[in-house]
Amino acid sequence: MKKYLNLILRKILSSRGLDITSKTIIELHDVYSYVEKQRELNIFELFLEKVVASLNEKNQDPFFMQIGANDGVYDDNFNRCIKEFNLKGILVEPLPELFEKLKLNYKDYADTLIFENVAIASDEQKEIQLYTFDKQDEGELVRLDVFTTSDKARLEKVKKNLNLQANIINLTLPATSIESLLNKHNVNSLPIIIIDTEGYDFEILKQINFDKYQPLIIQFEHCNLTPKTRLECYQYMSKKGYNLYLSWKDTIAVLPKEKFDAEIEETDG
């Protein structure tokens, strides 16, 4: 049944103009996990280990940007990577309350991390409207602050599907573009990007200057993308030269080995 469903997925994607091969897009679903040092590593960590090792061999910093960092703990498979590999990077979280928790949870790593309390938007936008559930409405069985989006209709759908009683509120928050943020901190190399923006991930991906940065590995959340947007996103990333690995809610985009090695060498030169 699973092989049949994967075949159907490939046919659907191919019919939308995305050439799918086993080397381009791979359904994971617990296939690519293993145990090392008595702990399970997910596929993202496996690829990340290779990125970090390759960059360290060239005496380069494996710098990262995490957009939608939340509190740095909740539903975050990157937290352990930052601490274990002692990564340097930028953590971006627009919600003030979560941002304070984020700084607190990484207080022991503050010397190597940059914290930005902004939302990512276009160059023209200095502010952005985001919608979330009112924290005053306690008593729900789910964390309300994880549902934050620029799409109010999506939040209303979540409220209905989960039978939530909490009110939806809008927040006006400071915003900036990826390029402006990287220029602000004089970042010239960005091999690692993590995105979790509740349905805005494809818009974030389209902001990345791939000619300038050519990230080695990108993890983004696909579970909140519409089917149409998800297909467009995969086509876009495939044309950028990435292999795509799918888990149940995230996609990991990785440069093929030959491009990966070439990018390492070019950066080193």
Give the pair of three-digit tokens for residue 188.
Answer: 């010239």
CA distance 172 to 49: 38
182 is a domain residue: no
* Domains held by the chain: number: 1
Helix 257-268 to helix 43-57 angle, to the nearest 10 degrees? 30
128 is a domain residue: no
Give me Rg for the CA atoms of the chain. Answer: 19
- Domain carrying residue 30: 2-115+191-268
167 is a domain residue: no
pLDDT at 229: 92
CA distance 193 to 216: 9
What's the CATH number where 201 sits?
A: 3.40.50
pLDDT at 265: 64
* Contact present, 24 and 238 (Cβ < 8 Å): yes
252 is a domain residue: yes
216 is a domain residue: yes
147 is a domain residue: no
Q: Against a cut of 0.85, is the pTM above it?
A: no
60 is a domain residue: yes
140 is a domain residue: no
CB atoms within 10 A of CB 143: 12
CA distance 104 to 98: 10
Note down pLDDT in tens along the chain; length 269 residues.
Answer: 445 444 544 554 555 444 444 444 444 333 333 333 333 446 777 788 888 888 888 778 889 999 999 999 888 888 888 988 889 999 999 999 899 999 999 999 999 999 999 999 877 778 888 888 876 655 554 566 667 777 788 778 877 887 877 888 888 999 999 999 999 999 999 999 999 998 899 999 999 999 999 999 999 999 888 889 999 999 999 999 999 988 778 899 988 866 666 666 665 55
State the DSSP H helix or E strand holding residue 36, giving kind and residue range, or none if neither: strand 34-36
